[in-house]
Structure 1
């Protein structure tokens, strides 16, 4: 691939353009918001000038409801030889593409399962797709050359290609992306009327649950509306579980604390929570392998420049392989807590090594 066009310079589109430009692909940025395209260009994502001849590939980074119309427009103008999209819903856009009589041979539906809670070109990152699944939904009419070109796109962006039908894709993302986003938003909405004295007690657990609720509300409305049947099925099952939880909690609310321990409702609640443990264990771990439970070493940090870099440098000196990092800022703003996740056998050595270097450590 030598040339490409990215239509839509939001966070995903700009990230695609940054990745392609880094790999030496001449990338043209197209957006009805010219200021957004210029911003992406200033970030090094490509050029805001239109191509003088058809590019090798056009990436349509627009909302699901707009994919078919944008594809039709640019196929008519001859923007590219091959087209793909990055919309997070596949069946409705595919049906619309077919209904409009677009050239199906040169189009491959796509969806990189990567993102951030931020939006706009300034949120773009060239490494956003590294190691992340990138679903492709070719049709019967898709030319082999078009599929090869889109596979090249995924490789250049560092993604991992996964081929699914549009229906299978939409059922999958309803479970692992769309319903979770909606549930996160609903939980975050409970905070609107909560007393300030309660909200200020928020810890990492609440931040983890509500992080994705900061996403663009209008964009997510389009996504949820486009995949409404599949999301409704998932939420219907969640609603049934919530009804069971409510029944159990109301049963426990009517008895004293001692009796509650042996009440049948407590056993039922434990079973519901255990199902959550089982589901969580199925989430893929590092490099897509089996989920692994890591030990946590928590270190208190002072709020000053370079503190995190210093603790990570000292941690590396202990020989521990840090698998993940979580940051939590203290309410008073003067300190914070970094949680270093490591394999169980490394935790003791890491904690001891950091203590020797003067770090306040909590295991």
Structure 2
């Protein structure tokens, strides 16, 4: 077991402890404390396996402390989403290693993933209010919003950086580059916003249509819907007699039955329909624009090669920060991820600058 793996155990232990300290539901808080203790015991066991004393146990990494800070600002369900991704990654690695070595799989391989999924579902004794809170926040935040923010900024920066460098290579005029850069910013941001609006709106309309169809089926053929609900419960391992009793009990309340059917049969949660398409569009517009303005900014004040150099430096810094931010989800090295992002971005910009230079020379010639 490498020191990097031990660091992962320490970080996960630290984050579970943070979640436990800020969890309102005592049942869930207790689970988080237990999982923190398990991760701590894993770290100690790995130290012993490598003939290291407990004093060698590392402190939580900068990544873990940054996630704690994000939790303070945006809510601790962000951390829950990142932890679920981490547990899935660890579980996948264990299963892959077992297949390569031919060893038998164990229930413990996926235990933590199952526990976290149960916290985010109805398979526990968490109160209904907190279940709704967990389900909603995990889908809408839980690391996904942060990831979307990082990727949105990256799209804006890389695409507009390449565009600006291409125009700068073709012409040395400050006004031309500035005009093209701002046009690229607006065109890209508006395209992202429209795409996000259409995506959210079309999903909502599809869900609403499916829910209406399910309601009509419930009204016209309640017996058939009851049988379907019982079959769903049976596929989850519930005995047939008990599944039929549960389905019959739910069908006594049409509203409850409809909600349960669209959730169990269609996989739709009504909370998904409450998202604002306009809010998603505006967010996408702003995220793209924030990244896209970076390479353009120097051309407001300078021109020629001086502006190109300053734009390149600013864009490289932005690319490095984006690459570093991605490590919050991947757990990779900040320096590796950051510089990888810089290299790819600079290569793309260099190619477009070269093409622009070639086109400019050809036109002038």
TM-score, normalising length: structure 1: 0.25
Q: Which has the higher contact order (CA 8 A, sep 6+)?
A: 2
Q: Which has the higher helix share?
A: 2
TM-score, normalising length: structure 2: 0.25
Larger radius of gyration: 2
